[in-house]
A and B are shown apart, each in its own frame.
Chain A
Amino acid sequence: MDNIKSTSTQTKKISTIFIVIISVMLILSIAALFQVFESYRRGRLDTANLILSVSAVTISIYMLLQLRVKPLKLGFEPQKVLTTIECVSCGYKMTREFKAGDFMFKKVESCPQCNERMIISSIYKAPQQKS
């Protein structure tokens, strides 16, 4: 267990150093950009410096955005599961949400149409709706 903890804290340490480096780079490149503007106001356009500093700013912002922690999806999220109940004799069908204790081919309450027995005919993951 100690090993795991040390690994994860190490990850955090490395990433803070990384953030500091990128921030320094960002500040420096912004300073360079500012200098370019200063010299432009004095009448001299330094194209090379402009291109270099602009690209440095873009790269550091991009890297900072990349560092943002994405929400981890572990796959344990509860899923919507549907249960279909079917009447054996008249074919009456009904779908509801899964309840604990449901299983396929379980005899459940009698049919509202013909009072015959009904069984659970299928249990499945609800298809994902695209919004």
Chain B
Amino acid sequence: MASNMLLSVFQTLVPQDNIIGWIFQLIWIIVFVIFMFYGQRIQITIMLREIEGHLYKLKLMRDKGREIAISTIKELGHPSEDPTARVDRFLEHVDIGPVSLDPVGIIKRLEHLIDVRELRFKDEVRMLAPKADEVQMMNLTNVLEAALALNQIYKIIRHFYLQSKKTLSIYIVMQLQMILPMVMKECEAFASALRAFTLGQPIGDGVGPLVAAKLMWRSDKKREIAKDIVVGEVMIDGRKAYVLKAKGPGGNVGKPGEAIRQILEENEGKVAMIILVDAAQKLEGEKSGEVAEGVGVAIGGVGVEKFKVEEISAKFKVPLNAILIKEDIGDVVSIMKKEIINGAEDAIKRIKRLIHEKTKEGDTVIIAGIGNTMGIGQ
């Protein structure tokens, strides 16, 4: 019976000496020829359709981000006029990096550009939301930055999508398809960050400042040392520790490099150790909130602050230690998770152990919590 069935299928698909057989053979040949000459075209079309779906989602995200930014500004800032036009103009903001053809002094130039950018953003937010207080102003700046990021990512992806549609080049399409999963993940993180920013909730990146705040909040010797950086003096295990973090609870990273430089100069370089605590991107398979130790300057971003710390610590020969709390890229800008708070506790234990093992009583150490301190006071 089964062999009978197979035979009849075979007879239908394979040409017999009748008209149906000829038709089937012709169809096979046509299909074969189409795939031979237009195979890649078909593949490109399928890939483009997939990218189109992602692009549509990116567009929705961007629009929603813009909408949230505008409504938050209206809610917190009570502007006298409609902020929509101003926000739209802001979302088209462009940064032009310094020339690197002659790299001498590029850090100084880069720092200047960053300062100007920050000032510009703050001015813009002040105009948009004149009634917001200092903390809300900081948070609004962060909201606008996230909306700006969503807009720019959407535009770049759209650019490559339209370009590949125009050229039908499989190489452009493939490049786009390769990076899209990572881009989407990042955008989803920005989307969830936007919500956290509007409410001033702490984010995963704030784990460094959280560790610093946990160490220094009881101290009465707190002062603002550099721009937006607070330093507190505490005794840990008989050692004098300068603990520093960005000034909270507004969303802010401050200039930790500048602060470390000033403390080192105040103490004429007599510092036994510098410990930097920061969030680090975890690898797939690692747990969120896991703590790792290392050597070097754990400061992210464009590298200005990192450069300052490296330079000054090399001048005074101060050992640099890093304590990293592992997080997923999505966690870095979304609301802090319980695991990460537990990671902060673990990091404090490690700092205490490190100080106990590597320094003597009466020494001075610097502990810097690096990251965005939104929602974390001191």
Chain A residues with CB under 8 Å of chain B are 3-4, 7-8, 11, 14, 46-49, 51-52, 72, 74-76, 78-79, 81, 98, 100-106, 119, 122-125, 127
Residues of A within 8 A of B192 (CB): 75-76, 79
Give the distance in Å from the alpha carbon of A104 to the alpha carbon of B212 in the complex: 12
Q: How far is the CB of B248 from chain A (nearest CB, A)?
A: 7
Say if the beta carbon of B283 comes within 8 Å of chain A: no
Q: Are A81 and B201 in contact (CB under 8 A)?
A: yes
Q: How far is the CB of B377 from chain A (nearest CB, A)?
A: 4
Say if the beta carbon of B335 comes within 8 Å of chain A: yes
Q: Are B162 and A3 in contact (CB under 8 A)?
A: yes
Give the distance in Å from the alpha carbon of A123 to the alpha carbon of B210 in the complex: 11
Say if the beta carbon of B149 comes within 8 Å of chain A: no
Residues of A within 8 A of B55 (CB): 7
Contact of B8 among A11, A46, A72, A101 (CB under 8 A): A46
Say if the beta carbon of B338 comes within 8 Å of chain A: yes
Say if the beta carbon of B77 comes within 8 Å of chain A: no
- When each residue 189-206 of chain B gets 1 if its CB lies under 8 Å from chain A and 0 otherwise, what string results? 101101100011110000
Q: Are B341 and A122 in contact (CB under 8 A)?
A: yes
- Chain B contributes a number of interface residues (CB within 8 A of A) equal to 46
Chain B residues with CB under 8 Å of chain A are 4-5, 8-9, 11-13, 49, 52, 55-57, 59-61, 64-65, 68, 158, 162, 188-189, 191-192, 194-195, 199-202, 210, 213, 217, 248-249, 334-338, 340-341, 375-378
Q: Are B377 and A106 in contact (CB under 8 A)?
A: yes
Closest 10 CB pairs of A and B: A103-B249, A75-B191, A48-B12, A105-B377, A75-B188, A47-B5, A125-B335, A48-B9, A104-B376, A75-B192
Q: A101-B200, A106-B377 are in contact. List 14 more A-B contacts (CB 8 A).
A: A3-B162, A48-B13, A75-B61, A76-B195, A81-B201, A98-B199, A100-B199, A103-B202, A104-B202, A104-B248, A105-B217, A106-B249, A122-B341, A124-B335
Q: How far is the CB of B163 from chain A (nearest CB, A)?
A: 12
Residues of B within 8 A of A49 (CB): 12
Give the distance in Å from the alpha carbon of A3 to the alpha carbon of B194 in the complex: 26
